[in-house]
Amino acid sequence: MFEAWRTQYMFVNLLLGIGNDLLGDDGVGPFIAEKLRGADWQVINAGIVPENFISPIRKLKPDRIIIVDAVHMNLDPGSIRIIPHGAIRDLGIGTHQLPMTFFIEQCAIIAPVIFIGIQPGCLDPDTQLSPPVAGAASELLNLLREHNYEELSVLID
């Protein structure tokens, strides 16, 4: 009964925060996941092993999946971009067990995926988010809460 009602009336947005919060700006994905809790989003802090969450994502049956990760894009620290699926050449920092392309392909079987990258600045161990990345995180949180994230710039190769 609930599944039929859910299918008819609820739209499930899922945010996955990916990264290592012990390596400065690489923790921006988990930071955003923790700060977005309580909003009208389902949230998973996937840390450095996002592939471990494929089964829970399937069970959740989201209508849309937003993935946030620190990504080297050769931009200024704190730059935010939507990264098209075709442009993902495992741009991640390398803290993941499997290639990001594989993980996104698995998620895309479940629901449409939007991959949002934030250019890191400082990746030193035991540091907090750098000021530019903390500012970008705040900006992105506001966009996510308002569901205006699609107005972000797209990374162009």
What is residue 31's three-state secondary structure? helix
Kind of pairing, strands 113-118 and 42-47? Answer: unpaired
pLDDT tens for the 157 residues of the chain, in order: 445 444 455 789 999 999 999 999 999 999 999 999 877 899 999 999 999 999 999 999 999 999 999 999 999 999 999 999 888 764 544 555 667 888 899 999 999 999 999 999 999 999 999 999 999 999 999 999 999 988 899 988 6
Q: Compute how many other C-beta atoms are within 10 angstroms of the C-beta atom of residue 151.
A: 8
The pTM assigned to this predicted structure is 0.88
Q: What is the CATH number of domain 11-151?
A: 3.40.50.1450
- Name the residue among 37, 4, 14 with its Cα closest to residue 141: 37
